[in-house]
C-alpha cells in the first residue's frame, strides 16, 4: 500500500510539472463561486460515511486518486472534455457533482476552468470544485483522505 501511494505521488508530481506549463489563467473571473468550492475535509467525511449520499466525483486532471472518482483525463484536451460531457449527459441536472484536478495551483491549472464552464453551460444545479488550491498531494493525500486502493 505504501509503495502504491508513493507511485501515485510521484506520478502526480511528474504530470503536474508538465501539465502546469501548458495551462494559463483566464485572466478573468473564475467560473465558480466561493460557495461552489468544496472543502477537502467535507468530501473526505462524506466518503468515509457509507450512510451519506455519495456524489459523482470526476477527476478532470492527470490521474484519479480520490476514492470513488471517475477518471476523465485532463479536460484541457478536447476529447476528455467531450467525454466529461457524455458522462454528464447521463445525470440529472440536480445531481451532486464534484470535479477535481489537483495538478497544480488553481491559478495555473489548465483543466478546472473548461470543466466547470461545461457544468455551468449544461445548467447543473449542484456542482462543486474540490478546493485543492495547491495540488492533490498537499491538499488531499498528505491529509490521509481516502484514495483509490
Tens digits of residue pLDDT in 54-104: 999 999 999 999 999 999 999 999 999 999 999 999 999 999 999 999 998
pTM above 0.85, yes or no: no
Percent of the chain's residues with pLDDT above 90: 70
Tens digits of residue pLDDT in 92-109: 999 999 999 999 888 888
Fold exhibited by the domain 2-143: Oxidized Rhodanese; domain 1 (3.40.250)
Tell me the domain boundaries of the chain: 2-143
Tens digits of residue pLDDT in 3-24: 555 445 444 444 444 444 443 3
User: What does the alpha-carbon distance between residue 142 and residue 112 come to, in Å, rounded to a whole number?
Assistant: 21
Residue 40 sits at φ, ψ, to 5 deg, of -55, -40
The three grid cell numbers given for residue 100, joined into one nine-digit string:
477535481
Amino acid at each position: 500500500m505504501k509503495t502504491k501511494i508513493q507511485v501515485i505521488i510521484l506520478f502526480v508530481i511528474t504530470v503536474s510539472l508538465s501539465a502546469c506549463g501548458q495551462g494559463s489563467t483566464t485572466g478573468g473571473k473564475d467560473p465558480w463561486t466561493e460557495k461552489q468550492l468544496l472543502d477537502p475535509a467535507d468530501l473526505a467525511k462524506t466518503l468515509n460515511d457509507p450512510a451519506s449520499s455519495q456524489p459523482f466525483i470526476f477527476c478532470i486532471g492527470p490521474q484519479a486518486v480520490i476514492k470513488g472518482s471517475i477518471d476523465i483525463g485532463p479536460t484541457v484536451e478536447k476529447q476528455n472534455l467531450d467525454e466529461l460531457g457524455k458522462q454528464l449527459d447521463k445525470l440529472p441536472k440536480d445531481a451532486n457533482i464534484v470535479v477535481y484536478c489537483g495538478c497544480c495551483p488553481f491559478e495555473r491549472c489548465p483543466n478546472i476552468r473548461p470543466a466547470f464552464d461545461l457544468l455551468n453551460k449544461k445548467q447543473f444545479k449542484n456542482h462543486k470544485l474540490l478546493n485543492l488550491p495547491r495540488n492533490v498531494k498537499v491538499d488531499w493525500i498528505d491529509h490521509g483522505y481516502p484514495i483509490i486502493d
